[in-house]
Structure 1
Amino acid sequence: MSERTRTTQRPPTGPWVIDTRDLGRRPGSSRGYHRKFEATSDFGLVDVIGIPSGAQVEFDVLLESVVEGVLVTGTVSGPTVGECSRCLDPLSGEVEVRVTELFAYPDSATETSTDEDEVSRLVDDLLDLEPVARDTIVLTLPAAPLCTPDCPGLCVECGEKLADLGPDHGHETIDPRWAALQGRFGEAGNNSEEN
């Protein structure tokens, strides 16, 4: 196997970071973690839907020592805000995602045989759940959230909500092919009224 050059990573910091030293490296040992904290940045699809900065985020995970590293399984949850992709009304809700991720030990077979972006890694016996949670949340949230499944959206002419306008709402539109004739006959009609 060829030697790979790995970039030196700084130890992670923040509320998502868990120190695994008390877990030990004996396969089979495990420990649960439950934490609540404020999100320091938005999690989700920018300007569409996600967990906003400052919202209360909760994670409940089990760390298990395995031969190649630390296996993390559990859930991450928090409140979501966004807007309907059809009518632009504000939306709010909750998201709970299931997380399963292996954090490889330095110099393990997994760490040495995979690219840096393929598997998460322990840095100084610390693991950072934030990138894993963020990726999982983004994949779970709808790319086009709706306030209701049958939201009719906005009127393309006036921009008002179609749900509020009623079935009789409409706008008089003139076929562009006839617009020139209407302008000509409209002018002629005005001239005949003056005579």
Structure 2
Amino acid sequence: MSRARAAATQRQPRSVLAFDVSRLGRRPGSMTTITETVASPIRIGLDLLAIEAGAPLDLDLRLESVSEGVLVTGSVTAPTAGECSRCLTPMTSTVRIDLTELYAYPDSATEQSSEEGEVGHVVDDTVDLEQAIIDAVGLELPLSPVCSPDCQGLCPQCGIVMADAEPGHSHELIDPRWAKLADLKVVDPSQDSE
């Protein structure tokens, strides 16, 4: 394999969320935009609600060369799927996140002065937005999603969805401490005159 081909192979993006910034150079003010839809490479989100792997991610981004690196700004919109935390019914929605991320050039003052993981890095003339999107989606999605604000959840005794239950649905419960007394037959003394 020739050196030029080997170099071109190394510069191929590692994922659908890694973008080549070699055309920006290190000229502050150079800019390019990305407006496209890509498939989510992995499931992104929380336990009960997430962007499924393969779901469309609508990217509307601006990549701008600044003195210390590449500044990525814009938004990502995607459909989410999951289940209600109260009644466990399937639910879908849409999440939109706004990104403002700096990716530092190798050997820049920002890279040298920032702590590990504080800023992203330009690696082999690419910026990988995957971790930034994962972090932003995790902060945007609710920890306990509900299908509606007034969802009553499930009946704690029989497990039926309360929205589907008949009006006045309830179960007569006996306190377990008194349950043995319920087995005793009550005798009315006025009936015992025989």
> Structure 1-normalised TM-score?
0.86
Which residue matches 2:7?
A: none
Which residue matches 1:86?
A: 86
The CA deviation at 1:79 is: 0.8
Which residue matches 2:59?
A: 59
The CA deviation at 1:64 is: 1.0
Which residue matches 2:132?
A: 132
Does the CA-based 8 Å contact 2:44-2:134 persist in structure 1?
yes
Structure 1 Cα separation of the partners of residues 74 and 166 of structure 2: 47
Q: Tell me the SS of whatever aligns to 1:131.
A: helix
Which deviations, in whole Å up to 9, do the C-alpha atoms of 1:59-100 show, x marking residues without a partner? 110011111111000011111101000010101111111011
The CA deviation at 1:180 is: 1.8
The CA deviation at 1:20 is: 0.7
Which residue matches 2:112?
A: 112
Which deviations, in whole Å up to 9, do the C-alpha atoms of 1:29-87 show, x marking residues without a partner? 211112212112101113x1011011111211001111111100001111110100001
Which residue matches 2:33?
A: 32
Structure 1 Cα separation of the partners of residues 105 and 26 of structure 2: 9
Which residue matches 2:99?
A: 99
Alignment of 1:152-163 (within 5 A): 152-163=152-163
The CA deviation at 1:177 is: 2.1
Which residue matches 2:44?
A: 43
RMSD of Structure 2 on Structure 1 (CA): 1.6
Structure 1 Cα separation of the partners of residues 180 and 135 of structure 2: 55
Provide the identity percentage.
49
The CA deviation at 1:166 is: 3.2
Structure 2 Cα separation of the partners of residues 40 and 66 of structure 1: 28
How many residues align structurally?
Answer: 177
Q: Which runs of 5+ in 1 are unaligned?
A: 1-9, 190-195
Structure 2 Cα separation of the partners of residues 40 and 57 of structure 1: 10
> Structure 2-normalised TM-score?
0.86
The CA deviation at 1:167 is: 3.2
Structure 2 Cα separation of the partners of residues 104 and 38 of structure 1: 26
Q: Tell me the SS of whatever aligns to 2:91.
A: strand
Does the CA-based 8 Å contact 2:72-2:102 persist in structure 1?
yes
Amino acid at match of 1:87: C
Which deviations, in whole Å up to 9, do the C-alpha atoms of 1:92-111 show, x marking residues without a partner? 11111101100001111110
Which residue matches 2:192?
A: none
Q: Tell me the SS of whatever aligns to 1:18.
A: strand
Structure 2 Cα separation of the partners of residues 93 and 176 of structure 1: 43
Does the CA-based 8 Å contact 2:16-2:41 persist in structure 1?
no
Amino acid at match of 1:68: E
Does the CA-based 8 Å contact 2:35-2:60 persist in structure 1?
yes
Structure 2 Cα separation of the partners of residues 143 and 19 of structure 1: 34
Amino acid at match of 1:75: S
